[in-house]
């Protein structure tokens, strides 16, 4: 039988009315009975190995039966700390992203579009992930992006600006106008991401 610990304390599944059969069942329906209000999952360890993908990979979680031998250790943290860590992680990512965008625009201007596009493809995935994270953070922050403002402009408007820049980049890629793409990256995308760093810092005052 799988041994389950939450913050170092053993979980007694016998107190449940219906026993979960898989890790997915436990995570989806029962774990709320063992985690204090205001706490969220930070890390998952399966037999001593960090396995955080089990938080988002439902298919994998369904393959792990709780009748198997082993130990599942779950570490929690306050939702506020999670938000602060997430904001700090995004800001650190943006620092690296901005450096890489500068490199990408330089590559495009000298005609090295192959390397420029390879690097930029990864950058665009990162920006997409940022939008998804911000969408998930909204309920935790208790912020309505269409109302909350920074420098007299709503956060939704900043999202709209980012979407407009991404659309412009897509059109420029199609036309293969690499000089124009480099200009958009340097003079529109980079300044906007710097503003977003300021926006993220302002969120910390809401926590």
pLDDT digits (tens, 9 = 90+) for 139-196: 777 789 999 999 999 999 999 999 999 999 888 888 888 889 999 999 999 999 999 9
pLDDT of 116 strictly over 90: no
The region, left, alpha or beta by phi > 0 then psi within -120 to 50, assigned to residue 195 is: alpha
Task: Using pLDDT thresholds of 50, 70 and 90, give the confidence band for residue 10.
Answer: very high
pLDDT of 23-50, one tens digit each? Answer: 888 888 888 888 888 788 888 898 999 8
pLDDT class of 74 with cuts at 50, 70, 90: very high
Tell me, what's the pLDDT at 185?
A: 93
Model's pTM, two decimal places?
0.68
CA angle 114, 159, 154 (to 5 degrees): 155
* Band (9; pLDDT cuts 50, 70, 90): very high
Q: Is residue 205 predicted with pLDDT exceeding 90?
A: no
CA dist., res. 78 & res. 95, Å (int): 26
**CB-hemisphere CA count at 13 Å for 27?**
27
């Amino acid at each position: 039988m799988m041994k389950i610990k939450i913050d170092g304390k053993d979980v007694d599944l016998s107190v449940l009315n219906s026993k979960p059969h898989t890790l997915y069942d436990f995570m989806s329906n029962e774990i709320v009975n063992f985690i204090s209000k205001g706490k969220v999952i930070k890390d998952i360890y399966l037999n001593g190995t960090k396995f955080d993908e089990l938080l988002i990979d439902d298919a994998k979680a369904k393959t792990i039966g709780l009748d198997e031998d082993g130990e599942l250790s779950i570490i929690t943290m306050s939702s506020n700390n999670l938000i602060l860590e997430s904001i700090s992680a995004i800001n650190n990512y943006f620092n690296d992203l901005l450096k890489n965008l500068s490199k990408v625009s330089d590559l495009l201007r000298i005609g090295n579009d192959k390397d420029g596009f390879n690097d930029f493809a990864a950058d665009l995935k990162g920006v997409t992930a940022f939008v998804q994270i911000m969408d998930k953070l909204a309920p935790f922050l208790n912020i309505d992006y269409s109302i909350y403002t920074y420098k007299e402009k709503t956060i939704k408007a900043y999202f709209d600006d980012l979407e407009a820049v991404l659309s412009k980049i897509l059109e420029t890629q199609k036309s293969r106008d690499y000089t124009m793409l480099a200009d958009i990256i340097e003079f529109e995308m980079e300044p906007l991401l710097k503003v977003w760093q300021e926006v993220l810092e302002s969120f910390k005052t809401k926590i």
